[in-house]
Structure 1
Amino acid sequence: MDEEKRITLRLPADLHAWLAAQAKSARRSLNSEIVYRLEGERTAAETDTESP
């Protein structure tokens, strides 16, 4: 990641709680968990567009 950007993100309380629990079980910060999941989705989307 060459450059980082800050954003304000509003989440439903139940989604926030779920993400926080997932982050804790993976020993990641909430921010790192969100980035990890978004990067995984981006990779999957890129793979889908490359498939014939």
Structure 2
Amino acid sequence: MTKQLNLRLPDDVHAQAVAAAAADDRSLNSWLIAVVRRAAAETPDRPGGDPATLAPLRGTGHSPRP
């Protein structure tokens, strides 16, 4: 099962992600999935070290809005 997500990226970050995906011979979607999986696996503060458990949110848990 997959979830759909609306992700807003600044133009420069989008361009960098597109270039990185192309260099890795992946679609942007596939590259983003790999990056998120890698980042999730490398998160050191998981409760009990369980990879299925979300790491606790820092701060308020809300994204800063301009």
> Which aligned pairs between 1:21-36 and structure 2 lie closer than 5 A?
21-36=19-34
Spell out, residue by residue over 1:3-30, the C-alpha distance to the aligned partner (whole angstroms, 9 max, x if none): 1011111100000000000000000000
Q: Tell me the TM-score normalized by structure 1.
A: 0.82
Q: Which amino acid aligns with 2:6?
A: T
In structure 1, stretches of 5+ residues that fail to align are none
Q: Which runs of 5+ in 2 are unaligned?
A: 50-66
Q: Give the aligned length.
A: 46
User: Which residue number corresponds to residue 11 of structure 2?
Assistant: 13
Larger Rg: 2
* TM-score, normalised with respect to structure 2: 0.66
